[in-house]
Amino acid sequence: MMTKSEQLQFCERLDTLRKIVSDVNLLANKSSLVQQTEWGGAGLIITTDPDRNRWESDTFVVVEDIKPVLWLMDELRELYDELGSDISKYTYYPHIGKSISREISNGHTDTISILNTMIEAVINLVLTKS
């Protein structure tokens, strides 16, 4: 369970990520540093390849503009590692992926909408569990 101080720090980190997401130039700069071509772990795969091999149990997400999504996943992984939360990574990461999938299925395929959805998913999951 997070203390009030930890919740505040958590929210401040997510606000910083939101500011980066809303700044096109800063987001492009951060995204350009990403070396990976997909994200996978803890039951979540994010890729541009709809034919990629996967387990049936994986949360599988296909996005067009993957670099910003991968950048944010790395940031959210770092945040998760610092949380010290009792939320399992097998809950945390698929929750983010399912939120992306819902956003895309609702017709919101633009990168900014997807990134904001990822942040909101983490807020909703972590703050409702603490």
Token pair, residue 43, equals 């039951």
The sign of the torsion formed by the CA atoms of 117, 119, 123, 125 equals positive
d(CA 74, CA 1): 23
Every domain of the chain and the residues it spans: 4-129
Q: Given this model, what pLDDT does residue 108 score?
A: 92
Q: Given this model, what pLDDT does residue 2 score?
A: 72
Q: Given this model, what pLDDT does residue 129 score?
A: 66
d(CA 31, CA 52): 22
Q: Given this model, what pLDDT does residue 14 score?
A: 92
Question: What are the pLDDT digits (tens) for 56-91?
Answer: 999 999 999 999 999 999 999 988 888 766 788 889
Mean pLDDT across the chain: 90
Chain centroid offset of residue 26 CA = 18
Q: Given this model, what pLDDT does residue 111 score?
A: 93
